[in-house]
Amino acid sequence: MIKSSYVFLHCSTRVVTALRAFAAGGPAAQPLYIEVKNRITRSLIAGEWQPGAAIPSESRLAQQFKVSVGTIRKAIDQLVAEKIVVRQQGRGTFVSIHTEDRQFYYFFHIVSRDGGKEPPTHELLSLQTVKADVQTAAQLGIRQGERLHRVHNVLKLAGNPVIFDELRVAAARFTDLNASSFGARDGTIYGLYQARYGINVVRISERLSAALPSARVARVLGVDRGTPLLVIKRVAYTYHDEPVELRTSWVNTRDHEYLSDLWKSEPR
């Protein structure tokens, strides 16, 4: 049996809330750990820590921000829950990257009807630069008439074309996007955004419906025009809910389905 005794002299000098409100000079009145979370997020946006790299340790951040480790912990807890960073015991806390399987499948929901998830292969069909119409501009938070890159893409599973994709991104954000950079990428498209343009997709919102294919989509997917397809309209967001990509996917659901698993706080 191990026993130990300590004597503390604890001088509590806490007028924290008042001090914080004063320091902020504003009516903020939000919890300290939220402010800490926002400051960390701002550093992430500024590119202070690159994807895959470790952010400073909890104790170091506690010193920098002059708060307790517990408060840092609670701030990072939220970033972990939003999958913006990942923790590894004994190693550190790392900015999420899109090259890892888990991260990838978090954004890819098409699975084989018999359960298995297969690695897809991509094929670029076309890459154009067009002007944004009013609706697209509104969704991307840009002005009508600004330039867009529009990419058409086909995605094959087990060798067969299953998904026809149309991506639209603001050309201003993705300056030198071209067919070769697109084709030469190692991993996922979001991995490319992250590695080449410093844009981290951290959340997506999707709207699904059923529709018949256009002639082109039918041809690419090898189905006739009476075959019902699953249509997925996706908006991808970076930090602070800023939209960065619009994507419409047409999916042949003969052998595949869209999996929406709501939801499991993955147990350890």
Partner DNA sequence: TTCGATTTGTTCGTATGTATT
Partner DNA sequence: TAATACATACGAACAAATCGA
Q: Please, which residue, 16 or 179, has the CB nearer to DNA?
A: 16
Cα atoms in the 13 Å half-sphere on the side-chain side of 214:
7
Interface with a copy of itself, residue 88, by CB under 8 A: no
264 binds DNA (CB under 7 A): no
# residues near a copy of itself by CB under 8 A? 52
Question: Given the rule CB under 8 A, which of 2-10, 56-64, 92-100, 139-147 is the region that contacts a copy of itself?
Answer: 2-10
**SS3 of 13, please?**
coil
- The stretch near DNA (CB under 7 A) out of 82-90, 149-157, 193-201, 239-247 is 82-90
Query: For DNA, which is the closer residue by CB, 65 or 197?
Result: 65
Phi/psi of residue 107, nearest 5 degrees: -110, -5
CB distance 75 to 40 below 8 Å: yes
> Which of residues 25, 26, 27, 90 is near DNA by CB under 7 A?
90
Other Cβ atoms closer than 10 A to 15 = 8
User: Encoding tokens for residue 55?
Assistant: 């952010």
Answer for the pair 232, 156: CB distance below 8 angstroms, yes or no: no
Contact of 164 with 249, CB cutoff 8 Å: yes
Residue 185 tokens, joined: 């990428």
The entry of DNA, a copy of itself, none near residue 81 (CB within 5 to 8 angstroms by kind) is a copy of itself
CB closer to DNA out of 66 and 264? 66
Q: How far apart are CA 181 and CA 195, in angstroms?
A: 11
Q: Which is nearer to a copy of itself, 102 or 147 (CB)?
A: 102
Stretch that binds DNA, among 52-60, 154-162, 235-243, 253-261 (CB under 7 A): 52-60
Query: What is the Cα–Cα distance from 26 to 231, expressed in whole angstroms?
Result: 46
Q: Which residues contact 189 (CB under 8 A, 6 or more apart)?
A: 122, 167
What span, in angstroms and rounded, lies between the C-alpha atoms of 82 and 204? 11
The answer to whether residues 196 and 181 touch, using CB atoms and an 8 Å cutoff, is yes
Q: Would you count residue 66 as binding a copy of itself (CB under 8 A)?
A: no
Cβ-based nearer residue to a copy of itself, 64 or 101: 101
The reply on whether position 52 binds DNA by CB under 7 A is no
Where on the chain is the footprint of DNA (CB under 7 A)? 2, 4, 6, 8, 10, 12, 14-17, 29, 31-34, 54-55, 57-60, 66-71, 73-74, 87-93, 268
Where on the chain is the footprint of a copy of itself (CB under 8 A)? 1-15, 34, 78, 81-82, 106-107, 109, 111, 203-212, 226, 228-231, 233, 251, 253, 256-265, 268
